[in-house]
């Protein structure tokens, strides 16, 4: 299983799934709920600077997810999104228990673990980063 093609395929699948999840959440914050509603939720949760935090979270999810999908600036983006999820754990999920249906920590923990895999192993060859790194050789 330690073949480069298998590793690259696994990283591609992981990046695509993570990217789609983050794009969907960013899209939801901007266009379904709306930033005003998200700002109200962030304010009720005690998140500092709720308006700015709502815009930054939604933008990070939408843009970061898109960059994960194409594999551009992948390790940086995955690290930044992991930090965003750590903040979500701290401000939202720690007081809610473990399970997702209770708003608990299980979902953000899985996202953080998956993002750390991308940070450690990179984007793989099936990515813009992979193409650019081969072009330098």
In a domain? residue 21: yes
Say if residue 137's pLDDT is above 80: no
Task: Give residue-wise pLDDT tens across range 60-91.
Answer: 999 999 999 999 999 999 999 999 999 999 99
pLDDT in tens, 29-65: 999 999 999 999 999 999 999 999 999 999 999 999 9
133: left (phi over 0), alpha (psi -120 to 50) or beta: alpha
Q: Tell me whether residue 65 is in a domain.
A: yes
- Local structure of residue 51 (DSSP, 8 states): H
Residue 133 within a domain: no
Residue 136 is assigned to a structural domain of this protein: no
Instruction: Evaluate whether residue 81 is within a structural domain.
Output: yes
Residue 137 forms part of a structural domain: no
The count of domains in the chain is 1
Name the pTM for this structure: 0.92
Does any domain span residue 135? Answer: no
Residue 50's CB: how many other CB atoms inside 10 A?
A: 17
Domain, as residue range, for 15: 4-127
Is the residue at 115 inside a domain?
Answer: yes
**Reported confidence tier of residue 102, pLDDT bands at 50, 70, 90:** confident
- CA–CA separation, 54 and 123 (whole Å): 28
């Amino acid at each position: 299983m330690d073949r480069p093609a298998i590793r690259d395929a696994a990283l591609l699948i992981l990046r695509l799934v993570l990217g789609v999840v983050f794009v969907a959440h960013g899209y939801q914050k901007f266009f379904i709920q709306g930033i005003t509603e998200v700002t109200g939720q962030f304010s009720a949760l005690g998140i500092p600077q709720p308006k700015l935090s709502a815009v930054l979270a939604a933008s990070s999810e939408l843009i970061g997810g898109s960059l994960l999908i194409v594999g551009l600036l992948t390790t940086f983006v995955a690290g930044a999104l992991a930090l965003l999820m750590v903040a979500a754990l701290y401000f939202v999920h720690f007081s809610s228990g473990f399970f997702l249906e209770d708003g608990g920590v299980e979902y953000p923990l899985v996202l953080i673990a998956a993002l750390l895999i991308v940070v450690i192993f990179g984007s793989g060859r099936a990515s813009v980063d992979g193409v650019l790194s081969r072009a330098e050789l």
